[in-house]
Amino acid sequence: MGKVTVGAAVIGGAAVCAAAAYIVRFRMRNSDPYVKCGDIVKELEEKCRTPVSKLRHIADAMTVEMHAGLASEGGSKLKMLITYVDNLPTRDEQGVYYALDLGGTNFRVLRVQLAGKSGIEYKEFAEVSIPPELMVGAPEALFDYIAAELAKFIASENEKFRLLPGRQRELGFTFSFPVLQLSIDSGTLIRWTKGFSIGEMVGKDVVAELRKAMDRQGVDMRVSALVNDTVGTLAGGRYDNKDVAVAVILGTGSNAAYVERAQAIPKWHGPHPKSGEMVINMEWGNFKSSHLPLTEYDNTMDAESLNPGEQIYEKLISGMYLGELLRRVLYRMANEAALFGDMVPPKLKTQFILRTPEMCAMHHDTSPDLKVVGEKLKDILEIPNTPLSTRKIVVEVCNIIATRGARLAAAGILGILKKIGRDGFRDGAIPEIVIAMDGGLYEHYTKYRNCLEKTLEELVGDKVANHVKLILSNDGSGIGAALLAACHSQYI
């Protein structure tokens, strides 16, 4: 087919992405064949396919990597970190406990009044934003600021919060930066992320820094547990439901933690805990397998990212990246198939301009003319008046990317269930297993959540599916940390 014919065919046909002038120009500059939007969608769909057979391979690879990571330090892309959490809440906990949640430009302090079987009697929290200069200043300045807020928080305590007589206040500390945990209540900072940069802190025990500041500020409180937010989610989930043994975070990033038998951790050389169990922080975002359906969009996004080659699984399934993948596909369609007419919308070149909440809103648009899609394209990408056919394509791409992510997350969960022998019969019965879920992606992206749940059912089969539950376990980094302070109390 000659150039002119192609142009003519586009003008004549009711092509969804028609822009004859541009295509002809494109073809003259470029020897690539003209690719219609439909072809790009088809190709994407094909490359993103996740048939059950593939998901099973991925689940098996996850199980294998879990074994390898538990066997030796650095034995796998999965770090399988020992958290020193060998006790999870039982609902016998009593009294008031505190949490400090530091993981971004805000931090939170909270307290909970625990009343045994009747659960959380009261809770209260305060949120404080961190002045930017403290994020890059001296460690003392940052931690003094936090300790001073803790002092205020204690001073403002309502009498309904009752410390058990003769007891010191106890705190769970969620510190959402990479930490090398040394014990339940100590760990050294590996590196700062999220805009923090306090050089002197790297390699230091973050709990020791906090303690020193509490001393300086006259805060009489013991730090009983240093925890990762995923571990907090597991604790919070277990408190709500005794069958919780796995926690998965699907938010901006993604991670998972679960309860492992101490005997199944060859690299653990410490004394076996009384419970015989240990919570493992998988750091599963770094999982990688040749079975993962990676496309050119994933590969270039990864190559241009701040951590190329790392967090490959996270880049497929988590909220930070789904919107960006959508942008990359739309950009290619705009370029090669004139999805938005004869100009490539300049905004579409900006990385991360399409955020996952926006993608979610477009994906869930049920209006007959896809009004929300039209609005988002106009507001974010400054593309006015998109025809319905274009909007439909955008929704289709959202669906392909979100479906792949959700199905891969389900495969990862199956991998964990297999590792702990909860993917089927055990001693002649199917035990109940509950997975505590947290994160904005899981909570708000309904189609993603539904697809994940449906896929997990499909993977474990009807019989087992009745015994596998997912519960939304909000606020692990807060309440979960306070609960961990309670079950790692100095008074036990």
Ligand X SMILES: *[C@@H]1O[C@H](CO)[C@@H](O)[C@H](O)[C@H]1NC(C)=O
Q: Which residues are catalytic?
A: 194, 229
The span from the CA of 483 to the CA of 481, in Å, is 5
One-character DSSP codes across 343-357: S--GGGGSTT-S-HH
Shortest spacing between CB 101 and ligand X, in angstroms: 11
CA distances from 151 to 143, 148, 215 (A): 12, 5, 11
CB of 81 to ligand X, least distance (A): 5
Alpha helices in 338-487 (DSSP H): 356-363, 371-381, 388-419, 440-444, 446-460, 462-465, 481-487
Does residue 311 interact with ligand X by CB under 6 A?
Answer: no
Q: How far apart are CA 77 and CA 159, in angstroms?
A: 49
Query: End-to-end CA distance of the chain, in Å?
Result: 80
Which residue's CB is nearer to ligand X, number 157 or number 310? 310
Q: Which is nearer to ligand X, 207 or 348 (CB)?
A: 207
The token duo for 486 is 């309670």
Whichever of 80 and 470 has its CB closer to ligand X, that residue is 80
**How far is residue 26's CA from residue 477's CA, in Å, rounded to a whole number?**
51
Identify the residue whose tokens are 């200069």.
133
With CB under 6 A as the rule, give the number of residues binding ligand X. 10
Nearer to ligand X, 188 or 389 (CB): 188
- Residue 243's region, left for phi above 0, alpha for psi from -120 to 50, else beta, is alpha
Is there binding between residue 250 and ligand X (CB under 6 A)? no
Distance CA 334, CA 381 (A): 12
Asked whether position 403 contacts ligand X by CB under 6 A, the answer is: no
- Which residues touch 40 (CB under 8 Å, ≥6 apart)? 329, 332, 333, 336, 337
CA–CA gap between residue 340 and residue 332 (Å, rounded): 11
Q: Are 39 and 333 in contact (CB under 8 A)?
A: no
Query: In angstroms, what is the minimal distance from the CB of 146 to ligand X?
Result: 17
- Tokens 């419970």 correspond to what residue? 275
Q: How far is the CB of 103 from ligand X (least distance, A)?
A: 6
Q: Which is nearer to ligand X, 113 or 233 (CB)?
A: 233
Cα 459 from Cα 478, distance rounded (Å): 33
Q: Which is nearer to ligand X, 285 or 323 (CB)?
A: 285
Q: Phi/psi of residue 126, each to 5°?
A: -130, 140
Q: CB nearer to ligand X: give 381 or 435.
A: 435
Q: Is 289 in the site for ligand X (CB under 6 A)?
A: no
* 48, 141, 143, 176 from 132: Cα distances, Å: 41, 12, 14, 17
Residue 437 binds ligand X, judged by CB under 6 A: no
List CB contacts of 32: < 8 A, sequence separation 6 or more: 336
Give the Cα-Cα-Cα angle 54, 58, 59 (nearest 5 degrees). Answer: 115
Mask 89-128, x = binds ligand X (CB under 6 A)?
--------------x-------------------------
Question: At its nearest, how many Å lie between ligand X and the CB of residue 282?
Answer: 10
> Which among 195, 295, 321, 258 has a CA at the least distance from the CA of 69?
258
CB of 283 to ligand X, least distance (A): 6
Range 154-183, binding ligand X (CB under 6 A)? 176, 178-179
CB of 335 to ligand X, least distance (A): 34
Task: Record the tokens describing residue 368, joined without a space.
Answer: 């007959």
Contact with ligand X (CB under 6 A) among 81, 146, 207, 394: 81
Residue 211 CB, shortest distance to ligand X, in Å, is 19
At its nearest, how many Å lie between ligand X and the CB of residue 285? 8
- Contact characters 266-285, ligand X, x per CB under 6 A: ---------------x-x--
Taking residues 218 to 247 in sequence order and writing x for each that binds ligand X by CB under 6 A, - otherwise, the string is ----------xx------------------
Using the minimum distance from each CB to ligand X, give the nearer residue, 295 or 474.
Answer: 474
**463: CB partners within 8 A, 6+ apart:** 430
Q: Please name the residue that has the structure tokens 């055990």.
A: 426
CB-wise, 287 or 297, nearer to ligand X?
287
CB of 467 to ligand X, least distance (A): 29
Q: Are the C-beta atoms of 354 and 33 separated by less than 8 Å?
A: no
- CB of 184 within 8 A of CB of 228? no
Between 50 and 230, name the residue whose CB sits nearer to ligand X. 230
| By CB under 6 A, residue 207 contacts ligand X | no
185 binds ligand X (CB under 6 A): no
Give just the sign of the alpha carbon dihedral 143, 145, 146, 148: positive
Q: If binding is defined by CB under 6 A, does position 394 make contact with ligand X?
A: no
Q: Which residues bind ligand X (CB under 6 A)?
A: 81, 103, 176, 178-179, 228-229, 253, 281, 283
